Amino acid sequence: MSLSQGEIDHVTELFSGLGDLTVRKMFGGVGLYHQGTIFAVLMSDGTLRIKGAGAFQDVLEAEGCTRWTYTREGSDTIRSMPYWTMPDGAQDDPDLACDWARRALEHL
């Protein structure tokens, strides 16, 4: 599944308050960058995930966000990536989304 231009436009608007936002297509989804640093991904299924590093991971977990995990075909090993679901309300509220993005960027 690939993203529609409308989905990409939505996340661009959502994080426009950050300024200097770049969107790069990758693996059917897009990476979201602020001043050259990736801070979020919009997955090919439309799921928006924010990057969690360091102590910020604990904040995201306490907020009820879930980490992106996957299992490779032919393996039972669960692997995880440093991207988490966005906190409730942040996917539709530009002020809240930018606040979370700034917090993520502080830890990158």
Which pLDDT tens digit goes with each residue over 54-63?
Answer: 999 999 999 9
Q: Is the pLDDT of residue 2 over 90?
A: no
Domains of the chain, by residue range, sit at: 5-106
Helix (H) or strand (E) holding 45: none
Give the model's pLDDT for residue 16. 97
**Any alpha helices (H) in the chain, and if so which ranges?**
5-14, 56-62, 94-106
The stretch 23-47 carries a mean pLDDT of 95
Q: What is the pLDDT of residues 62-96, one digit of tens each?
A: 999 999 999 988 999 999 999 999 998 999 999 99
pTM for the model: 0.92
The DSSP code for 17 is G
The fold for domain 5-106 equals: Yope Regulator; Chain: A, (3.30.1460)
Do the Cβ atoms of 89 and 100 come closer than 8 Å?
no
Per-residue confidence band for 28, with pLDDT thresholds at 50, 70 and 90: confident
